[in-house]
Chains A and B, each alone.
Chain A
Amino acid sequence: MNHLDLLTFARGSALNWALMIFAAGVVLRLFEIFGLSRKPDLARPRSDSPGSGWRTMLSRSIPPQGMLKRDPVTYIGGYVFHLGLLLAIFFFAPHIEFFRSMTGLHWPNLPTALVDASVVAAIAALGVLLAHRLNNKVKRMLSGSGDYLAWAVTLLPLLTGYMAYHHLLFEYALMLSLHIFSVELLLVLLPFTKLFHTFSVFVSRWYNGDFFGRKGVAS
């Protein structure tokens, strides 16, 4: 199989399967979560609460008072990584073409140099976060193979994408294929690892915010 064939496979059947596993997996996992249901809260909620599930969905992205100082590496590293990843996924022109072909929606892209810089930042942040995970005793204790796997499959698309764009290591078609394969690996694993927080974070934050909000606390 030559490189263009590999690329065609990556963009074709491999992508189709990965997307289908991803879509089915995400829906399955959401069913798993919502299917368990919860009892309605019979306690009368406070009517004048400053908090709510919707509020917490967003506000939890901001560190609570004093926390930034306690673990700056996790917060700053986390921000840089998530932001870099977000920009790279959704604002790199070729990626927008992907979304357009799937959904018909498109939006303006960022200058490539900016996307490039954000990818470098995200890769660096991942490096720092891994070192922190290995050094910090709490994180080390909490971490299992799943955490390191999740780290690796998140790094790979960033790294291969960067290398493909800069024509590093392998020739472009091969590197681009590897990039697409790494994204496919990520798609397949996402629903079944902690990476599912991509979706469930909104559910958990909503419940948290709702719980506190009913009691009159903005959480």
Chain B
Amino acid sequence: MSATLAKGINSFKEVIDTPIASYFSSCVHCGLCAEACLFYNETGDAKYTPIHKLEPLRRVWKQEYTLLGKLGKMLGLSDPVTDAELTEWEPLVYDSCTMCGRCSMVCPVGNDITYMIRKMREGMSASGHAPEDMIGATARAVNIGSPMGIKWPAVQAQIKHVQAETGIEVPVDKQGADYLVLMSSMEIINFPEYLSALSRIFKQAGVSWTLAADAFEATNSGIQIGASDLAREIVSRIVVAAERLKVKCVISPECGHAFTAIRWEGPNLMGRPFGFEVKHILEVLDGLHAAGKLKTRGKDKRPLTYHDPCQIARRGGVVAQPRRLLNEVAEDFREMPDAGVMNWCCGGGGGVSANSRAEPLRLEVFKTKKRQIEATGVHTLITACANCRIVMEEGLEHYQMKVEVLGLTELLAEYLVEGE
């Protein structure tokens, strides 16, 4: 109960660095970032202009870190950031930004607006301006171990189920395994297919892997809400487990922001480079495929398309891998317009899907995805992020579209050559 405006402003001052100062200095108010943003595009409401979402942070930068701003502040000419203002900005910073990174690709002066939103959330959460639902999810992630409140026994139950179904043993806490496999809560609850698909693929490829009882959850609510102290605590569980089990590589599951959290933010949160690699599952599968260890037979006859999860493609650099894998098992793979690094967000990233207040807006902006899917004319949609998958399933249902959503790992497993 101790979030205060002072703490928030203090955080703003802490996070402002050279890139941010250069971004604010460069902005020419051209408004092109709005054109890139899902939220502005679907609603046409100017307040969703990406750079506008950062207005309070910009003023703190100006007042604290520029000569003119300092002078203005001394002369009492500047207009300080208030609690009321941050309250007004809360929905802009959280509900209407999925940290998809599209604006950062478009801004002509090169502003990485998404980077700044991530930083701004530090001050927003420290000043008590994070959405209630996200606070709840973060509290569960820290206190229980998973934002959805899932504990290890639930995973154990799924392991049992998978073992019974596949007849393959799921290794747990196996010292010296090559890979430590993580999962997201969504996969544990909604998509048990992932674990079974992985068991089968790894068995076939002869990969040595393990789960960790104290570090099965890959997601990181601390990153979404923008509280690095908490994000660090959450990611450290994985780091400790990986180091304890002496794995060579940690596999981030089919989840976008989890990949960002472990792969890109992890070492920075921990303050040291990792002694192990971090890879997204698609990178691992693509590697196995290239090495001839992932053999498939037959092709899916259904026309299908692929949704690039923002954090995996645009913010993660995994773009070619899913295409190579898909072309192995799909006869009629069609790209949607703007596919790849310029793909449109599903509308649920960056914690938006965990924020029930944002739901009407999220469904509204799903129209972009709807149009993209319709343009391909397919009824099967593949993706590689469990969060995207749930958000899209909800959107498809809302707009009564008959489109099935599948995880790419799961699709691959369907065509796996086993036991040869």
**Which residues of A pack against B, CB within 8 Å?**
28-29, 32-39, 41-44, 46, 49, 56-57, 60-61, 63-67, 70-71, 74, 78, 136-143, 147, 192, 194, 196-197, 200-201, 203-209, 211-212, 215-219
Residues from chain B with Cβ under 8 Å of A200 in the complex: 22, 25-26, 109
The answer, among B26, B66, B263, for a CB contact under 8 Å with A204, is: B26
Cβ-defined contact, A42 with B31, below 8 A? no
Closest 4 CB pairs of A and B: A216-B317, A205-B110, A138-B31, A42-B267
Could you tell me which residues of chain B, from 20 to 59, have a CB within 8 Å of some CB in chain A? Answer: 20-23, 25-32, 34-36, 40, 46-47, 49, 51-52
Cβ-defined contact, B40 with A205, below 8 A? no
Interface flag for B314 (CB, 8 Å): yes
The answer, among A28, A136, A194, A216, for a CB contact under 8 Å with B27, is: A194
Cβ-defined contact, A66 with B338, below 8 A? yes
CA of A92 to CA of B176 in the docked complex: distance in angstroms? 70
Residues from chain B with Cβ under 8 Å of A138 in the complex: 31, 34, 40, 46, 49
Cβ-defined contact, A141 with B26, below 8 A? no
Identify the closest chain B residue to A61 (Cβ). B108
Interface flag for B301 (CB, 8 Å): no
Interface flag for B369 (CB, 8 Å): no
Whether A78 contacts B108 in the complex (CB less than 8 A), given A32-B21, A33-B21, A211-B115, comes out as yes
Residues from chain A with Cβ under 8 Å of B17 in the complex: 36-39
Segment of B120-128, B195-203, B268-276, B292-300 engaged in the interface with chain A: B268-276
Interface flag for B291 (CB, 8 Å): no
Whether A196 contacts B109 in the complex (CB less than 8 A), given A65-B338, A136-B31, A139-B30, comes out as no
Whether A32 contacts B109 in the complex (CB less than 8 A), given A65-B342, A197-B26, comes out as no
The answer, among B21, B32, B266, B314, for a CB contact under 8 Å with A67, is: B32
Residues from chain B with Cβ under 8 Å of A140 in the complex: 46
Residues from chain A with Cβ under 8 Å of B337 in the complex: 66
CA of A49 to CA of B313 in the docked complex: distance in angstroms? 13
- Total cross-chain contacts (CB, 8 A): 170
Residues from chain B with Cβ under 8 Å of A215 in the complex: 264, 315-317
Question: 23 A-B Cβ contacts within 8 A?
Answer: A32-B67, A36-B16, A42-B267, A43-B263, A43-B273, A44-B273, A56-B110, A60-B109, A65-B342, A67-B35, A71-B32, A136-B31, A138-B40, A140-B46, A141-B52, A196-B25, A197-B25, A197-B26, A200-B22, A200-B26, A205-B109, A215-B317, A219-B341
What does the 1/0 interface line of B175-189 toward A look like (CB < 8 Å)?
A: 000000000000000
Interface flag for B106 (CB, 8 Å): yes
Cβ-defined contact, B341 with A217, below 8 A? yes
Tell me how far the C-beta of A217 lies from the nearest C-beta in chain B, rounded to whole angstroms.
Answer: 5
What does the 1/0 interface line of B101-122 toward A look like (CB < 8 Å)?
A: 0001111111110010000000
Whether A33 contacts B35 in the complex (CB less than 8 A), given A64-B106, A139-B29, A142-B52, comes out as no
Tell me how far the C-beta of A197 lies from the nearest C-beta in chain B, rounded to whole angstroms.
Answer: 4
Cβ-defined contact, A197 with B67, below 8 A? no
Cβ-defined contact, B49 with A67, below 8 A? no
Whether A41 contacts B19 in the complex (CB less than 8 A), given A74-B32, A141-B46, A205-B109, comes out as no
Residues from chain B with Cβ under 8 Å of A136 in the complex: 31
Given contacts A41-B268, A142-B51, A203-B25, 13 further A-B contacts (CB under 8 A): A42-B268, A46-B317, A64-B105, A66-B342, A71-B35, A74-B30, A138-B46, A197-B27, A200-B109, A205-B109, A217-B317, A217-B319, A219-B104
Cβ-defined contact, A201 with B26, below 8 A? yes
Residues from chain A with Cβ under 8 Å of B34 in the complex: 138
Residues from chain A with Cβ under 8 Å of B40 in the complex: 138
Cβ-defined contact, B68 with A192, below 8 A? yes
CA of A41 to CA of B268 in the docked complex: distance in angstroms? 6
Interface flag for B399 (CB, 8 Å): no
Residues from chain A with Cβ under 8 Å of B65 in the complex: 32, 36
Cβ-defined contact, A36 with B21, below 8 A? yes
Q: Which of A43, A60, A63, A74 has most chain B Cβ within 10 Å?
A: A43
Whether A194 contacts B18 in the complex (CB less than 8 A), given A43-B266, A138-B49, A211-B112, comes out as no
Identify the closest chain B residue to A71 (Cβ). B35
CA of A201 to CA of B28 in the docked complex: distance in angstroms? 10
Tell me how far the C-beta of A198 lies from the nearest C-beta in chain B, rounded to whole angstroms.
Answer: 9
Cβ-defined contact, A204 with B111, below 8 A? yes
Tell me how far the C-beta of B36 lies from the nearest C-beta in chain A, rounded to whole angstroms.
Answer: 7
Residues from chain B with Cβ under 8 Å of A216 in the complex: 316-318
What does the 1/0 interface line of B45-84 toward A look like (CB < 8 Å)?
A: 0110101100000000000011110000000000000000
Residues from chain A with Cβ under 8 Å of B20 in the complex: 36
Interface flag for B265 (CB, 8 Å): yes
Cβ-defined contact, B108 with A60, below 8 A? yes
Tell me how far the C-beta of A209 lies from the nearest C-beta in chain B, rounded to whole angstroms.
Answer: 7
Cβ-defined contact, B267 with A139, below 8 A? no
CA of A38 to CA of B317 in the docked complex: distance in angstroms? 23
Cβ-defined contact, A207 with B46, below 8 A? no
Tell me how far the C-beta of B72 lies from the nearest C-beta in chain A, rounded to whole angstroms.
Answer: 11
Whether A36 contacts B18 in the complex (CB less than 8 A), given A67-B32, A74-B32, A205-B109, comes out as yes
Whether A39 contacts B29 in the complex (CB less than 8 A), given A142-B52, A207-B19, comes out as no
CA of A70 to CA of B106 in the docked complex: distance in angstroms? 12
